[in-house]
């Protein structure tokens, strides 16, 4: 087994088959050949891992639909490029899921990234969110960067600040006190991997090194907390930056979304 296969196998074992709940009120369940997370308001609901074949796939998909719709939850089936059976994506579409754009699963050693010396523009500060005011700044940064309402994150981040088992760290970039970018670091205790999520910069500040700086900042936080690897579900726009920093592609991941009448959250 080469290093690529070994790291992918470790990722599957720790972060998918051995997933832990990503916040208070969420629970991870192993049901047949599926590992899923069920969460309350504001939490992520979805399928993290499946070990299926052509004989078991359709029944497993139907069971997850029944489970989440009975709770009124919108949920996501995270389908990886190496998952089986090979036609699982087509089976999800046939069951009423909607396919979102594919992303690339990329990893890098947390303490071994390249080209991390970033000189921030004058007046820009990058910091970890540690209080309620910081949460509001981060949410405003998300709104300005992505053009969407990030208020679903408020309760989640505030709960994390008061939790002894904190699994999410928000990071905000400010220019003269105004948010110009936001990002998150997601942690799982006892796991080698820390996840980089939702790195966004407001349009007028793009191309000035803020995304790269946020990756470097979060990499240091992850290494300080004992994580060996960083993991990103990378969009095509961020993949070249991540490759220059030393990230390599392990697989692809495609979100398949199922939306009952009462929506929840997807990640």
CATH number of the domain within which 92 lies: 3.40.630
Average pLDDT, the chain: 91
Distance between CA 181 and CA 68 in Å, rounded?
Answer: 33
Lowest mean pLDDT across 15-24, 53-62, 149-158, 235-244: 149-158
pLDDT per position as a tens digit, 213-234: 999 999 999 999 999 999 999 9
138 in the same domain as 202: yes
Residue 238 falls inside a structural domain:
no
On the question of pLDDT at 85 being above 70, the answer is yes
Residue 244 falls inside a structural domain:
no
73 in the same domain as 15: yes
175 in the same domain as 126: yes
Task: Tell me the pTM.
Answer: 0.88
Q: Retrieve residue 171's tokens.
A: 């990071």
140 in the same domain as 121: yes
Lowest mean pLDDT across 158-167, 203-212, 235-244: 158-167
Contact of 41 with 24, CB cutoff 8 Å: no
Q: What is the CATH number of the domain that holds 133?
A: 3.40.630.30
pLDDT per position as a tens digit, 122-144: 899 999 999 999 999 999 999 99
How far from the centroid of its chain's Cα atoms is residue 103's Cα?
Answer: 11
196 in the same domain as 121: yes
Q: Which domain holds residue 46?
A: 3-103+253-258
Contact of 109 with 250, CB cutoff 8 Å: no
Residue 146 falls inside a structural domain:
yes
118 in the same domain as 74: no
């Amino acid at each position: 087994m080469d290093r690529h296969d070994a790291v992918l196998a470790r990722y599957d074992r720790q972060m998918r088959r051995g997933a832990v709940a990503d916040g208070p009120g969420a629970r991870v369940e192993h049901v047949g050949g599926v590992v899923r997370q069920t969460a309350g308001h504001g939490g992520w609901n979805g399928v993290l891992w499946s070990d299926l074949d052509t004989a078991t796939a359709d029944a497993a998909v139907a069971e997850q639909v029944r489970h989440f719709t009975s709770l009124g939850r919108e949920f996501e089936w995270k389908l990886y490029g190496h998952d089986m059976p090979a036609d699982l994506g087509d089976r999800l579409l046939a069951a009423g899921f909607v396919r979102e754009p594919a992303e690339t699963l990329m990893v890098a050693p947390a303490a071994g990234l390249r080209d991390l010396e970033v000189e921030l523009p004058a007046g820009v500060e990058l910091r970890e969110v540690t209080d309620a005011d910081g949460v509001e700044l981060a949410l405003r940064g998300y709104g300005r960067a992505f053009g969407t309402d990030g208020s679903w994150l408020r309760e989640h981040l505030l709960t994390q600040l008061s939790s002894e088992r904190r699994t999410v760290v928000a990071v905000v970039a400010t220019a003269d006190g105004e948010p110009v970018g936001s990002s998150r670091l997601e942690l799982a205790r006892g796991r080698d991997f820390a996840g980089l999520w939702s790195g966004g910069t407001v349009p007028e500040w793009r191309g000035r090194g803020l995304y790269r700086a946020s990756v470097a900042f979060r990499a240091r936080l992850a290494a300080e907390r004992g994580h060996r690897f960083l993991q990103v579900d990378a969009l095509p726009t961020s993949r070249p930056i991540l490759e220059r920093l030393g990230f390599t592609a392990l697989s692809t991941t495609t979100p398949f979304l199922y939306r009952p009448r009462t929506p929840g959250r997807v990640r």
